């Protein structure tokens, strides 16, 4: 499989400054040494509790945030080194779908103008081609061209998210970061949007990073799944492997939090307490303060990534050979 993105040793450490004097008093360690490949034409699910660094990773890959160090290689180029001007082409190829469709559409603009904006920003002046593309995309997202003369407030949450998706795909990108794209929507609407994203992936050959805390949706939509905890990827595997043969205690705990109809009598890990502050992360394995299998060495030493099988990697001493 070809990688669309190769993310190497990516760190994002936000400086924390003293309110009065502005002195540096520490860092928020939002991303720590993230290494990850995103393959062409896959949907990679990214899961973890809030505060685990999922959105920060998505924003760093799109260079909406400047990572502290590391590389994000896209078609052989490290986009972290690119200037604003050099990023213009990249921005056409890599887009973001936001969580909240009520915030992401300008309420003063008609839908036509919202969809036309990316063409204006990119100085694409062919009006006929612009209009043809807008009509084609509106049809692709399952709406009628009549909507183009209306305003965002005239639509439901699900319809607005369709329009936000249309805006994200209008310049035919290769890659989409979908950051909790259905969590602000009614449960009844969520499946429609998830199915739309699957259809777009097929028809437009899209690659997607699908960020969510909802494991049942991630299981439905993803090809592979990465699990994040306190700014680190702790487990990554092909979807079926991750759901059926997960190895990291944190993945197990996340899966145990998903309601199931049939009661399972086996012992379960239940996550207790909150995720520790990324400003003061625990030493050693970052999950050791909540892990029921914690060993002495977990408190001082960081586990490596251990390979379980092809493309299934786990950061836990229990998987040491
Ligand atoms: Fe638990 Fe130790 Fe594995 Fe960390 S390395 S998840 S503390 S067993």
Of the listed ranges 11-20, 57-66, 291-300, the least confidently predicted one is 11-20
Between the CA of 297 and the centroid of ligand 1 the distance, in Å, is 9
Q: What is the pLDDT of residue 256?
A: 86
Q: Count H helices and E strands in the chain, helices first.
A: 9, 12
E strand or H helix that includes residue 215: helix 215-221
Atom of ligand 1 nearest to the CA of 293: 8
State the average pLDDT for the chain.
92
Atom of ligand 1 nearest to the CA of 299: 7
Rounded distance between C-alpha atoms, residue 291 and residue 229, angstroms: 12
**Among residues 66, 130, 129, 141, which one has the least CA distance to residue 101?**
141
pLDDT, tens digit, for every residue of 61-73? 999 999 999 999 9
pLDDT, tens digit, for every residue of 237-271? 999 999 999 999 999 999 987 655 455 555 576 77
Whether 135 and 145 have beta carbons less than 8 Å apart is answered as: yes
**Among residues 65, 70, 42, 68, which one has the least CA distance to residue 55?**
65
Rounded distance between C-alpha atoms, residue 48 and residue 226, angstroms: 9
Ligand 1 pocket (Cβ < 6 Å) reads 249, 285, 287-288, 291, 293-295, 298, 303, 316-318
Atom of ligand 1 nearest to the CA of 294: 7
Sequence-ordered list of residues with C-beta below 8 angstroms from that of 111, at least 6 positions apart, any chain: 147, 148, 149, 150, 151, 152, 163
In a mutational test of the pocket of ligand 1, which residue from 271, 298, 315 has the highest number of ligand atoms less than 8 Å from its CB?
298
| Predicted confidence (pLDDT) at residue 96 exceeds the cutoff of 90 | yes
pLDDT, tens digit, for every residue of 174-207? 999 999 999 888 888 999 999 999 999 999 999 9
pLDDT, tens digit, for every residue of 104-163? 899 999 999 999 999 999 888 899 999 999 999 999 999 999 999 999 999 999 999 999
Of the listed ranges 6-15, 17-26, 32-41, 291-300, the least confidently predicted one is 17-26
* Domains of the chain: residue spans and CATH: 3-319 (3.40.50.300)
E strand or H helix that includes residue 302: none
**Token pair for 21:** 């004097």
pTM of structure: 0.92
């Amino acid at each position: 499989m070809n990688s669309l993105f190769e993310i190497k040793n990516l760190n994002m450490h936000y400086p924390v400054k003293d309110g009065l004097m502005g002195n540096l008093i520490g860092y928020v360690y939002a991303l720590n040494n993230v290494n990850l490949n995103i393959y062409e034409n896959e949907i990679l699910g990214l899961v973890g509790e809030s505060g685990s660094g999922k959105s920060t990773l998505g924003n760093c890959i799109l260079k909406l945030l400047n990572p502290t160090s590391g590389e994000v290689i896209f078609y052989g180029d490290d986009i972290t080194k690119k200037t604003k001007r050099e990023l213009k082409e990249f921005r056409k190829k890599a887009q973001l779908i936001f969580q909240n469709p009520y915030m992401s559409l300008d309420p003063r603009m008609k839908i036509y103008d919202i969809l036309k904006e990316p063409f204006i920003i990119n100085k694409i002046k062919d009006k006929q081609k612009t209009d043809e593309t807008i009509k084609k995309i509106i049809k692709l997202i399952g709406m009628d061209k009549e909507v183009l003369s209306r305003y965002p407030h005239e639509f439901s949450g699900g319809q607005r998210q369709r329009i936000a998706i249309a805006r994200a795909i209008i310049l035919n990108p290769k890659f989409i970061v979908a950051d909790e794209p259905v969590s602000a929507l009614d449960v009844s609407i969520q499946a429609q949007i998830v199915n739309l994203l699957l259809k777009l992936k097929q028809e437009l050959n899209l690659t997607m990073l699908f960020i969510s805390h909802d494991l049942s949706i991630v299981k439905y939509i993803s090809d592979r799944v990465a699990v994040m905890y306190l700014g680190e990827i702790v487990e990554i595997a092909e979807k079926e492997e991750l759901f059926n043969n997960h190895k990291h205690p944190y993945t197990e705990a996340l899966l145990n939090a998903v309601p199931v109809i049939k009661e399972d009598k086996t012992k379960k890990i239940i996550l207790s307490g909150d995720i520790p502050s990324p400003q003061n992360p625990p030493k050693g394995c970052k999950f050791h303060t909540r892990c029921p299998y914690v060993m002495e060495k977990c408190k001082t030493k960081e586990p490596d990534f251990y390979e379980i099988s092809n493309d299934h990697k786990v950061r836990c001493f229990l998987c040491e050979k």
